[in-house]
Structures are given as structure tokens and as C-alpha cells.
Structure 1
Amino acid sequence: MLAGALDQQASFRFETGATTDVGKVRSENEDSYIVHADAGLWCVADGMGGYEAGKLASSTVVEALRTIGQAASPADLLARFQDRVLQANIGLRKAGEERGLTTFGTTVVALLIYERFFACCWAGDSRTYRVRQGRLSQVSRDHTEVQDLVDQGQLTPEEAKRWPGRNIITRAIGVSDLPDLDLIQGVVEDGDVFVLCSDGLTGHVSDAEILAGVAGRAPQAACDHLVQLTLARGASDNVTVIVVACEPKDAEAPVSPSPARSDADGRGA
């Protein structure tokens, strides 16, 4: 997952794009994100609890992750991430009790990269995809009631798209005393592109369209395209997209029509 101190990103150069938008229906953007390429961290959090509560939940996780620092190994990076999420979870539990909130928390999906190792960590239905050699695969698995029904063979993927309450999530940060994260680890290959997003994107844009939106575009242009596509279809929820392109450190830098931005949340990137 990442590289250490001055050598942290010895294996790859990262080009990152990020865009978030409140959408066409909501009055408040409850999504937050962080791009921290120097530490090998990218994360999207989608808050729940309504208005200020949802934004507080997602931003609490993002602010905790800003302190992650430089890791010395893949295991160290993962441990640092898990510690920050734990601290954010403690803070959210306390804030929820003080405010008397019964529904208060946030999804989280994070990509960690150290040298040629990556980890995808998540809770909820925000997703990570990977594009490799022209093919898109979903790295994370949604923590939702409808996904459980699909896994149990009680629904087909097509039926799941029309299932009532399909967005009811089964895991989130801040809803229990300890965070319950899933983890997938692997090796990064030259040219891999990762896409992290809130469900505001996948509610309107298919996997095939995500692949088409990323193909041939610089990361920032890809993010902007996917968010604009979501807005054109009604954007019933907040939408956030991060695209991370992994190129060999010694490869010629691509010419990007839009500069990557970092460590931002809110509208735009």
C-alpha cells in the first residue's frame, strides 16, 4: 500500500481528479472526500442523518484521515488508516448521543497505495472500481440489504435495480461502537486506474458508462464528465467521484487538460 517518507511513491506517479456536487434535489452536500497522494490515501465518505448531521459525519472521517502522516510499510499505512477511522467513529458516537440522533453516520470507501501494494477499505455502499487493460471491475461490495439478497440468490442483479429500499445500508461508520470495515488487498499494475464514488453516481450511471467515461480522459476530465452525466439525469443525491491513474514513476508525464487537485471537499475539486 504506499511508500515510506521521501521515497513514499517510488513505484508510481499518481494523477488524480476529484469532483463533488450537491445534485439536483438535495439542499446540502453531505459527501466529503480527501485526496492525499503523498500519503497514498484517497477516500470518499457519504454522510447520513440529514442536512448538517450528514455533513458532520462525513467530514469527521475526512478530517481524521488528514492526520494519517507518512507510513513506513503497507501494514503501517493500513494500521494508521484503521486508527483514524476508529477515532472518527468514537467522535461520531459521542456527537450522536449529544444530539439525540438515531440515524447518524457515514459510508466510507478508501484506497491506500504503498509502492506496488493497494488496499481497498470500506463500509456502506460507496464504491471502488478498477480499470485494468480496458476492463472495469468493482473492487468493493455494497453493504446493503439488496446486495445481501442478490448474494443469497433471492434477487437477480436486474431485479435488484428496481427493489424498494435498495439503498438501505447494513454498515456505516458511527452507527456502532466499533467500525466494521471490509478489506481487499492486491498489487497495482502499471496503468491501473481506480474510481472511488458515492452512490449518487451509481444510482444514475452504469458500470459500462463509468468505463466509457474514464477511457481516454485525464482523471479530472473523467470526474467532471461523470458528474455532469449524473446531473443531466436528475442527480437525486449528492455525487462525488475520485479518479486515480497509476503510472510508472519514470514514465513520461501525460498532458492533462485539467490539473489534478488535492485535499479538498465541497463543490468542485
Structure 2
Amino acid sequence: MATPSRIGFTWRGASATSKGNVRAHNEDSILDLSSCGLWVVADGMGGHNAGDVASRMIVESLAGFERRASPSALLDDLEDRLTEVNRRLYAESLVSDAGMSGSTIVALLAFERHCISVWAGDSRVYRSRGGVIEQITRDHSEAQEAIDGGSPESSAASNVITRAVGGAQELYLDIELRELRNKDRYLLCSDGLYRELSENDMAQHLTANDPEGACKALMKQALGGPCSDNVSVIVVEFSGA
């Protein structure tokens, strides 16, 4: 169902998640709050204690999110909720024999004429505009740091995350503001998707389908490969002035 903003923009979203073809359970959690203009993908950190608990805590904390009168109030509320989840997870890790529990986070917030991507970790936001796909987020990972430093990405660093909710005492979120245009489509996903599909494949599915069809096509192709990780997708289409 399309949800209007105050100036005439409408948006509609679709979402899907799967444990993939190898993992015994799904540590990803997703949230589609189209009524509030909020969408979230959280990927529990594999190899740590209860990554599924960490990702679920993020989604449960944001499930009661409400639309605010101003963009700044909306963003502050999101940051406050994530900071509180980070505090709880980190405090638990200090007293638990099981070690750290954490999760990546990527969220999309829709405003009147703009949207904001908020993230920590290597879950991503892509935008499809006029058939051209662009990665909006930048991974917080050792692999990305190696690339930024001019070194090739190593397989040893490919899964090492440098930021996550619960990963440190202080949570640092990156924020990216983008202007909306008619028929923009945004894709939020965990690394289980983009490790299976090329950007060309993602662009094709986003261009050829409505949000529901794009989700189905993306998941079908991902699960048609090895898909050794959990995989989650959310697709949001914006229409208006």
C-alpha cells in the first residue's frame, strides 16, 4: 500500500528474509514501517553470541517508532533508540561468559523531499534511478579499509566488521542525505544478498519489477546460488513531485 508524505510523495515497500541454503537459523531481522517512512535491516554478527538476539533487539526497539513533526526529531529518536540497544548489548557482554553479541544496522528514513540512510557495519543501501544503480552506504569493514588504503581486499578480512551495534561502548553511525526523485527505488540488504548478486543483476531486478516483484526476483537469484549466509532485502519505491 502506498503511503503519502505531506507534500505528495508516496512510497511503498516490500521485504523478504531467509536463512539461506547453509545456515541452521536466521540471524537477520527486518522491519518495514512504511506508515512511518522507516525501513531497517539488521544482520546479527555470525561467530558471536546470539547474533539473532542482537538483531531482534534492534527491530523490537524500533517497532514502536512514530512519525515526528520535524526531520531532526525523527532522526534523534532513531539514534537514541539504537544507542540504548548498543548500551544494553555492550553492558551484557562485559558480564557474560558467552562474549559479545552484536549486529549491523542499516536504516532508511523518508522525509518530505529527502531520505536519510543510517548505518553501522556492512549491510547496505543502494539506489536505482533511471536504471542506474548506486551504492549509497560505505562498509565499515577491514576489507573496505584495505581498499581505501590502496591494498587489495583479502579473504581474511572480508567478514571482519569494524562497527556494529553492541560492538563497542560508543556507537558511531554514518548518515547520508539524498534528495528524492520520482520513481527512485531504494534497496536495503544484508551482505548475504550482495555477495551472491552483481550490481548489474540487482539493477536489472529493481528496474524490471515493482517492489514486491523485485524482492521475489532478488531472493530467488540469491537462493539459486550457494547462499551460504542469511539473506535479507527491502525494496522501497518513491513516487511524487
Residue 120 of structure 2 aligns with an amino acid whose one-letter code is A
* Secondary structure class of the residue paired with 2:42: strand
2:59 alignment partner in structure 1: 62
Q: 1:198 aligns with which of 190, 195, 203?
A: 190
CA distance in 2, matches of 1:26, 1:9: 43
* Secondary structure class of the residue paired with 2:170: coil
Q: Does 1:167 align with 2:164?
A: no
Q: Does the CA contact (< 8 Å) of 2:48 and 2:100 recur in 1?
A: no
Task: Mark the CA change 1:25 to 1:51 in structure 2 (over 3 Å): closer, same or farther.
Answer: farther
Q: Does the CA contact (< 8 Å) of 1:49 and 1:103 recur in 2?
A: no
Q: Does 1:185 align with 2:184?
A: no
Could you give the per-residue CA deviations for residues 141-182 of structure 1, whole angstroms, max 9, x where no partner exists?
Answer: 011111111111122xxxx3x633312111101011121111
1:96 alignment partner in structure 2: 93
1:120 alignment partner in structure 2: 117
* Secondary structure class of the residue paired with 2:29: strand
% identity of equivalent residues: 38
Task: Mark the CA change 1:187 to 1:233 in structure 2 (over 3 Å): closer, same or farther.
Answer: same
CA root-mean-square deviation: 1.8
Q: Does 1:217 align with 2:209?
A: yes
CA distance in 2, matches of 1:204, 1:109: 19
2:9 alignment partner in structure 1: 12
CA distance in 2, matches of 1:116, 1:185: 10
Task: Mark the CA change 1:219 to 1:138 in structure 2 (over 3 Å): closer, same or farther.
Answer: same
Residue 92 of structure 1 aligns with an amino acid whose one-letter code is L
2:37 alignment partner in structure 1: 40
Q: Does 1:86 align with 2:86?
A: no
Task: Mark the CA change 1:235 to 1:114 in structure 2 (over 3 Å): closer, same or farther.
Answer: same
Unaligned segments of structure 2, at least 5 residues: none
Deviation at 1:102, TM superposition (A): 2.8
Q: Does the CA contact (< 8 Å) of 2:105 and 2:165 recur in 1?
A: yes
Q: Does 1:21 align with 2:38?
A: no
* Secondary structure class of the residue paired with 2:166: coil
Number of residue-to-residue matches in the alignment: 239
2:105 alignment partner in structure 1: 108
TM-score (norm 1): 0.84
Unaligned segments of structure 1, at least 5 residues: 1-5, 250-269
2:147 alignment partner in structure 1: 150
Deviation at 1:97, TM superposition (A): 3.3
Q: Does the CA contact (< 8 Å) of 2:4 and 2:11 recur in 1?
A: no
Deviation at 1:93, TM superposition (A): 1.8
Q: Does 1:132 align with 2:129?
A: yes
CA distance in 2, matches of 1:51, 1:150: 25
Q: Does the CA contact (< 8 Å) of 1:132 and 1:192 recur in 2?
A: yes
TM-score (norm 2): 0.93
1:176 alignment partner in structure 2: 168
